[in-house]
Amino acid sequence: MTSSSFNNNSISILVSDEESDELGRKRVRAWRKRKKHGHQRPRNELNQRLIRLFVKYWMFLIFLPAAVLIIFEVTSIGRKPGLVANAEVNEVKKPNLMGNSELTKLKEPTQGNKSGRNLNRLDPITHVVGGVREPCLKLLPAEELEHLDIPDDEESTSSIPVKKLVYISDDETSYGGGNSTFSWQRTNGSRFNLFTGNQTFDERERGFKVSETVVLHCGFFSPNGGFEISDRDKSYMQTCKIVVSTCAFGGGDDLYQPIGMSQTSLKKVCYVAFWDEITLAAQESQGNKIGEDGLIGKWRIVIVRNLPFVDQRLNGKIPKMLQHRLFPHAKYSIWVDSKSQFRRDPLGVVEALLWRGNSVLAISEHGARSSVYDEAKAVVRKHKATPEEVEVQMTQYHEDGLPKDKRFNGKKALNEASVIVRKNTPLTNMFMCHWFNEVVRFTSRDQLSFPYVLWRLKVLKNINMFPVCTRKDLVNSMGHIRKAKPLTN
């Protein structure tokens, strides 16, 4: 122990050695603590900075993995059911509808990204009904499809409002040389020509009157009107009892092989694709040659010469709407736009969409609109037709009394006609003739004239206006590959 003293009221303080050591130890501990805290300060600042960044960008951090997951799912779906095993030769799994599959190799034209994703898909399209997911198109089981046959007509003739159609024609129309149907179009100032005949408004009105025998225009007015088909192809077309047909004029679209059919349909159904010489040249340049039997794959290729219209869209309406004129002995016909691949069994489709519901015509509802007047505005807005020609058509329909109703006879008024399934009866043939005449008289946008003809022919009630998801199940949609070349003769 040490002591220290001060004079003059000095205070004596005694400090032991043990207290000195204890004080030293406390100072050392305090120094170490300050040193430790000094090292932790940057780490605390880093933690606080990370916390501030998380608070500021937490939404982005949550969204990023979700976006990555969505992109992964989309790419997985795109790879799923292409059913293509080789880039050059597609090995398409074609169900024989008996529980097994066989591989058929079909060389397909080169497709874009969208086409590549959809081509040869056979997966069913479904929708939710009453909380239960169901297929949009309910075909019969495979075993029953193999035994389907075209039934004999059992309908009594006394219940048929129209029994016979007489088509207006003029076999004595003089031929002026060159492309006479184009010349007549220019001289009479309309799109009527030697193929259509010059339908007057009086003839139009008389044609809508329902009676046992109806006289009306329905194309093929003059032998010089164009749409020329070889005798060999005509003979083949006259043998068809049920037909699936498409067309590509002006080289606009490629040819997509039908898939999903039964062996029975392969034997009983005609698959016919109408081409003009422009499409023929375009397809041959891609290596798609017509065989000696007239086939490419399952399609019988029919070459049409001397098309009657400059507008290729109008030329396409002939095989689309006048199948009964081209296939005079066919009881049933299915139309498929060239931008689509038909992917279901034809006999099964006829059974599901016509026979099962006792319908004679099946066509898809429009997916976006219900009113023809709203559709007219959309056609102009999307530059699908000129405002002037649409106004002429809608004005005429308004004067004729076409209501703005969105439903006729309980069915949606507006349609989408990329797939048409029908029984070829005098009444349905009459409907298609009038529909064709309307697209010739007014615009080529056939969804504008369909509601009008449906409204005028009120006796045609057994129509199956199937939902959009059914149409998506019937075909794989490819979209148009390229713009069709117009005729310039």
Ranges of each domain in the chain: 161-174+185-477
Q: Which residues pair with 411 in a beta bridge?
A: 408
Residue 296: other Cβ atoms inside 10 A: 19
Alpha-carbon distance of 184 to 179, in angstroms, equals 9
Per-residue model confidence (pLDDT) at position 170: 85
CB-CB contact of 345 with 254 (8 Å): no
Tokens of 350: 């006829």
Residue 193: other Cβ atoms inside 10 A: 27
412: exposed, middle or buried (Cβ count in 10 Å: 0-12, 13-18, 19+)? middle
DSSP H or E segment with residue 273: strand 269-275
Per-residue model confidence (pLDDT) at position 47: 75
Alpha-carbon distance of 147 to 167, in angstroms, equals 37
Per-residue model confidence (pLDDT) at position 56: 72
Kindly give the confidence (pLDDT) of every residue in the chain, 489 residues in length, as a single tens digit, with 9 standing for 90 and above: 444 444 444 434 344 444 445 545 555 455 555 555 544 555 567 777 777 777 777 666 676 776 766 666 555 444 433 333 333 333 333 444 433 333 333 444 444 445 567 899 999 999 988 899 999 999 999 999 999 988 876 665 667 899 999 999 986 543 333 444 444 444 445 799 999 999 999 999 999 999 999 999 999 999 999 999 999 999 999 999 999 999 999 987 889 999 999 999 999 999 999 999 999 999 999 999 999 999 999 999 999 999 999 999 999 999 999 999 999 999 999 999 999 999 999 999 999 999 999 999 999 998 788 788 999 999 999 999 999 999 999 999 999 999 987 777 777 778 899 999 999 999 999 999 999 999 999 999 999 999 999 999 989 989 999 999 999 999 999 876 666 666 654
Query: How many alpha carbons fall within 13 Å on the CB side of residue 118?
Result: 22
Tokens of 219: 């194309």
DSSP one-letter string for 430-460:
HHHHHHHHHHHHS-S-HHHHHHHHHHH-TT-
Tell whether the torsion through CA atoms of 26, 31, 33 and 34 is positive or negative. positive
Query: Cα–Cα distances in Å, from 223 out to 219, 230, 247, 274, 419?
Result: 11, 13, 22, 19, 29
Per-residue model confidence (pLDDT) at position 480: 67
Per-residue model confidence (pLDDT) at position 99: 34
For 161-174+185-477, CATH number? Answer: 3.90.550
DSSP one-letter string for 235-266:
HHHTT-SEEEEEEE-TT-S------S--HHHH
Tokens of 300: 């019988």
pTM for this predicted structure: 0.76
Q: Map tokens 């006259």 to a residue.
A: 238
CB-CB contact of 358 with 462 (8 Å): yes
β pairing state of 90-95 and 340-342? unpaired
Residue 183 makes CB contacts below 8 A (sequence gap 6+) with 176
Tokens of 325: 């004129």
Tokens of 450: 């369909």
- List the Cα angle 25/31/34 in 5-degree steps: 140
Tell whether the torsion through CA atoms of 431, 324, 138 and 248 is positive or negative. negative
CB-CB contact of 336 with 476 (8 Å): no
Per-residue model confidence (pLDDT) at position 370: 78
Alpha-carbon distance of 415 to 470, in angstroms, equals 13
Tokens of 61: 């951090």
